Structure 1
Amino acid sequence: MKRLLGLAWAATIALAASQAAAAVIYQENFSGTGAALNGKAVGPTAANWAAGSVYLDNGTVGTVVGNATGQAAHLPFAPQSGTVYTLKATVLNTFADWIAVGFFPAVPAGGSWTATNASMRHSNASAYAWGLTRNNATANDQEFFNGINTTNPLTGVNGDLVSPLAPVDVKIVLDTTAATWTATYFLNGVQRGTTQNLPAGANTGIGGVGFSRTSNTTAGTGGVVSNFELSVVPEPAALSLAAVGMIGAVAASRRRK
C-alpha cells in the first residue's frame, strides 16, 4: 500500500508539474515580410490583430506624427478570475516618444483599434496595467502605470532603469486569484517594485492586450517589437483538487483489490 501511495504521489507531482506549465494564449514572433499587421492571424488561440497603419508584421513600428495622438495594436482578451497570466514582449525604441505594452479595454473610445487618435494610446485608453520604454533625455526612459490611463504611476519603479539603446524585455504578471487583482512588473527579467493592487474596475475593464505608441514630431521608423506572448498558469486550487482526486482513485482501486 505504501508503495502504491508513493507511486501515486510521484504521479501526482508529475501531473501537477505538467499542468503548472504555462499554456500559451497568444504568441507572435513578428516574422512577416513588412506587410500591415492589421488583420494578421495570431495563435495558438485564433484571433486577428487590430492595428494602426504604423504596425507591420515584421515588428516595425513607425512613428505617428501629430499632437496628442497615437496608434495601437490590439488582441481581444478577457481575463478569468482565479488565474495567473503573464504578458511579455520585447521593445526596441531609441526615440523620445514612447512605445508601450500592457492591458487594454475591449473597445476604444474611438470605436476602432485601427484608428489614429488619442484614445489609441495606453495613456488614454483606460489601460489598467502597462509599461512604456523610450530614449528621452528629459523624462523617465521606462515607466509603469498601475491604474486607468496614467493614474497610479509607480514612482518607486519608474526611471532610467535599463538602456533603451538595446531591446527591452517588458513583462507584466496579472494575478486574478484574489478578489482584488494584482500586477507585478519586470524589466529584463528583474522585478521592479512590489506587487501592486489594481483598481476594482480592472476586474471588468480589461478586454485586450497589445501595444500602443504616442505621437512624435518627426516621421520615420520609430521602433521594433518582438517576442510577444500572453500565457496562463492553471489555478493552484485546481492542481490541488487534481492531486486529491488521483490519490483517492488509487486508494479506491487498492480497496477493491
Structure 2
Amino acid sequence: MRIQLALAVLGAGLATAPAQLTIYNHQFNGSGGPLNGTPETVSGVAWQAGSVFLDNGVVQTLVAGSANGQAAWLPFTPQSGLIYTATATILNNQPNWIAFGFMPATPPGGDWTATSFNVRHSNNGAYLWALTRNNPTQNDQQAFTGPNTSGGLANFNGDLVDPAQPVEIKIVLDTTADTWTAEFLLNGTSRQTVNVPDAAKTAIGGIGFSRDRNATDNPGGVIQSFSLTVVPEPTSGALLLTGLALLGLIRARRIA
C-alpha cells in the first residue's frame, strides 16, 4: 500500500507545474489622488511617480513644448533561473505614448517623480519595454529590447491593434538559460521573442510606466491593470517533486 502511495505521489510530482508567485498586482482603486507614495497592493512598496499618474489608474496629460515626460516606478531586480511575466492593460487613444516595461534603478538625475525627458523609457536607459498610442502619423504600438529605443522589434512595430480599446502588453522574461530571452505579446498574441542583451542583467532595477509629453491638452489615458509574477524553472520544480516522491518510495520499500 505504501509503495502504491509513493508511486502515486511520484506521478503527481511529474505532472505538477511549479506554482506562480505574485510579486506585484496593483489594484488602481484609489479616488484620484497621486499615485506617488501609494502602497502597491501586494507588496506594500510605495510607488514613485510623477504628478500625472493617479491612484485610480488615470494618466493625465502632460502638455509641454519639448520632449518632457513622467514615470511611475517600482523596484525590481531579475534573478537567474526564473520566468517572470509582466502584464499591463492600457487604454490610450491619444497621439502621445504611454509605455510599460523594465527600467533602471534610478533615472538620469535620480528622481522618478520629476517632470523630465530623463524619466521616460526612451531616455532613462530602460530595457525590454513597449508603448501604445493612437497616432495617425506614427506606429501605434512599438517595442524595444533597449537600452532606450535601440533594438526595435520588427514584429511589434506598427498599427497592430485598436488603441481606442484597452491594449494588453505582456513581456515574459525567461532567465533560466545563460542567454536570457524575452517574449513580447500584444492582446494575447505573441509578436516576437528576442535574446536579452547581457547588459540588461545588471541594468534592470525597476518596472513601471512612463508618459510622453502631449502637444495639446486632451483626456489622457488609463492604466487598467498591472501585474508581475514569477515561476521557478519548470524542470527544477518537477525535479524537486520527483526527488521527494522517490525518497518516499525508497522509505516505503525499506519499511515493507
TM-score by length of 1: 0.94
Cα RMSD after superposing both structures: 1.5
The amino acid that maps onto 1:239 is G
Verify: 1:117 aligned to 2:116, yes or no: yes
The amino acid that maps onto 1:40 is T
Q: Which residue in the other structure is 1:219 paired with?
A: 217
Spell out the pairing of 1:92-111 with structure 2 (5 A cutoff): 92-111=91-110
1:46 CA drift (Å) = 3.0
Q: Which residue in the other structure is 1:12 paired with?
A: 13
The amino acid that maps onto 1:157 is F
The amino acid that maps onto 2:174 is D
The amino acid that maps onto 1:10 is G
Q: Which residue in the other structure is 1:53 paired with?
A: 51
1:78 CA drift (Å) = 0.7
Spell out the pairing of 1:161-180 with structure 2 (5 A cutoff): 161-180=160-179
The amino acid that maps onto 2:213 is S
Once residues 77 and 51 of structure 1 are traced to their aligned partners in structure 2, the CA distance between those partners, rounded to angstroms, is 15
> What does the per-residue CA deviation read over 1:159-210, in whole Å, with 9 as the maximum and x for residues that have no partner?
00000001101101011111222111011111112x1011111010000000
The amino acid that maps onto 1:37 is L
1:81 CA drift (Å) = 0.6
The amino acid that maps onto 1:77 is F
1:106 CA drift (Å) = 0.6
The amino acid that maps onto 2:194 is Q
> What does the per-residue CA deviation read over 1:92-135, in whole Å, with 9 as the maximum and x for residues that have no partner?
00110000000000111121100010111000011110010000
Once residues 178 and 118 of structure 1 are traced to their aligned partners in structure 2, the CA distance between those partners, rounded to angstroms, is 34
Q: Which residue in the other structure is 1:25 paired with?
A: 23
Q: Which residue in the other structure is 2:243 paired with?
A: 245
Once residues 41 and 57 of structure 2 are traced to their aligned partners in structure 1, the CA distance between those partners, rounded to angstroms, is 16
Higher alpha-carbon deviation: 154-163 or 241-250 = 241-250
| Structure 1 segments of 4+ aligned residues over 3 angstroms from their partners | none
The amino acid that maps onto 1:71 is Q
TM-score by length of 2: 0.94
The amino acid that maps onto 1:4 is L
Once residues 161 and 172 of structure 1 are traced to their aligned partners in structure 2, the CA distance between those partners, rounded to angstroms, is 16
The amino acid that maps onto 2:87 is K
Q: Which residue in the other structure is 1:144 paired with?
A: 143
The amino acid that maps onto 1:8 is V
The change in CA–CA distance for 1:235 and 1:85 in structure 2 (over 3 A counts) is: same
The amino acid that maps onto 1:39 is G
On the 8 A contact 1:88/1:169 being kept in 2, the answer is yes
Once residues 43 and 215 of structure 1 are traced to their aligned partners in structure 2, the CA distance between those partners, rounded to angstroms, is 28
Verify: 1:196 aligned to 2:194, yes or no: yes
Q: Which residue in the other structure is 1:186 paired with?
A: 185
Aligned equivalent of 2:231, options 212, 230, 233: 233
Higher alpha-carbon deviation: 109-118 or 211-220 = 211-220
On the 8 A contact 2:13/2:238 being kept in 1, the answer is no
What SS class does the counterpart of residue 152 from structure 2 fall into?
Answer: coil
Once residues 49 and 219 of structure 2 are traced to their aligned partners in structure 1, the CA distance between those partners, rounded to angstroms, is 16
Once residues 33 and 117 of structure 1 are traced to their aligned partners in structure 2, the CA distance between those partners, rounded to angstroms, is 26
Q: Which residue in the other structure is 1:82 paired with?
A: 81
On the 8 A contact 1:99/1:134 being kept in 2, the answer is yes
What is the number of equivalent residue pairs in this alignment?
253
5+ unaligned residues in a row in structure 2: which ranges?
none
> What does the per-residue CA deviation read over 1:129-149, in whole Å, with 9 as the maximum and x for residues that have no partner?
001000000110000111200
1:226 CA drift (Å) = 1.5
5+ unaligned residues in a row in structure 1: which ranges?
none
